[in-house]
Amino acid sequence: MELVYADESLVVCIKPSGVVSTDEPGGVPELVRQALGDPKTTVRTVHRLDQVVSGLMVLARTEAAASELSRQIRDDEFFKEYLAVVHGCPEQKGTLRDLLYRDKARRMTMVAQEMEKGVQEAVLDYQVLSFQKNMSKVRIRLHTGRTHQIRVQFASRGYPLVGERKYSTLEDDCRIALWSYTLGFQHPVTGEKMEFTKEPPQVYPWTIV
């Protein structure tokens, strides 16, 4: 577990692909405790990344910090940007807005046609950064944090993420190309503006686009 920043209130780490965000055996909080050298220290998840997704993640080290960071997320004061590689080439930039519902039995998120019980609005902005070999590198800012939101919103428009297994029929020989790129928030104790950026690893398909 790579730690980018740590103090008495929070820790910022690089979540590996294949690791769950929640506090369970082998999850991010347990790995952070190991990296801190204290298996009993408080480490709380305040936002999640899909198990297959990698990149920056912030966790709280006190109950008060967890509460304040969670409030910032609820009030859209928590800045999150992702990088992704998608098949095809969307318009240069835009806003994707959908109604999504979660099919718990199939463990999939689906696009709904109208608002009803269990349906939530999903909104993101994106910009295409580059295009090579029928793949586009896009930067994404999330305004909502629905389960599988980025993956579903792009796939439903015919631009599935490279490496996608759940929402694409294409077969890519790589991990899903979705990376938590930037986190911005106010420190839960000092109020200081904090921002962290980390580039994705230089492996396929990131090396193509």
Residues annotated catalytic, as ranges: 50
d(CA 19, CA 54): 9
CA dihedral sign of residues 187, 56, 209, 93: negative
Measured in whole angstroms, the distance separating CA 95 from the mean position of its chain's CA atoms is 17
d(CA 106, CA 83): 27
CB-based contacts of 186, cutoff 8 Å, min separation 6: 72, 77, 192, 193, 194
Phi-psi region of 75 (alpha: psi -120 to 50; beta: other; left: phi over 0): alpha
